[in-house]
Amino acid sequence: MSTTQPLSLYWSRLSEPTWSLYLAATDNGLAFVGSFDGSVDELTAWASRKFPGSPLSQDDRRLAPYAAELAAYLRGELQRFTLPMDLQGTPFQQAVWQALRSIPFGQTCSYSDIAVTIRKPSAVRAVGTAIGANPLLITIPCHRVIGKNGTLTGYRGGLEMKTRLLELEQAALAGGGR
């Protein structure tokens, strides 16, 4: 009978002038991006839920490429993330998160649009739950999902962060960001 070794988790903190984010990665890719006013407790709670028994160690060097991409995005210089991600979720969550990645930079869509995209048009509430479970804020752009009536709705990072991200993308598009 073989036993599986716990996965190693590495974390770092990204500090930009008006942003402070906790990041975590496995050897397979970026696995967590926290809210801009989140604490290290948000990170450790996520790690203990998703990777119980796995050590969590700070490694700024290992997370530097991820931090660099996020920093470029937060400066309006990057529209698409290219580094690997290690997303842990159900097949339904994975489908929703993949659909989120297809929302173009600077655009929004509704929860029902995502439900239709994944061919589950009656699963709007389940889509909302899957979006709320997204561990990779910003890189899996759940901030681009709004209510069907055009209003901003819940966001794990808070509505202030969601507003700031949408404004950042609009400003980058107006300024010719890549």
d(CA 34, CA 72): 17
What amino acid is encoded at 2 in this protein? S
For residue 45, how many other CB atoms are within 10 A of its CB?
Answer: 12
d(CA 138, CA 173): 16
Helix (H, G, I), strand (E, B) or coil at 71: helix
Considering only CA atoms, which of 83, 48, 80, 90 is closest in space to residue 65?
Answer: 83
Contact 47, 56 (CB under 8 A): yes
| pLDDT, tens digit, 9 for 90 and up, residues 137-169 | 999 999 999 998 889 988 888 899 999 999 999
Q: How far is CA 154 from CA 42, 84, 125, in A?
A: 17, 27, 12
| Catalytic residue ranges | 142
| pLDDT, tens digit, 9 for 90 and up, residues 51-107 | 888 889 999 999 999 999 999 999 999 999 999 999 989 999 999 999 999 999 999
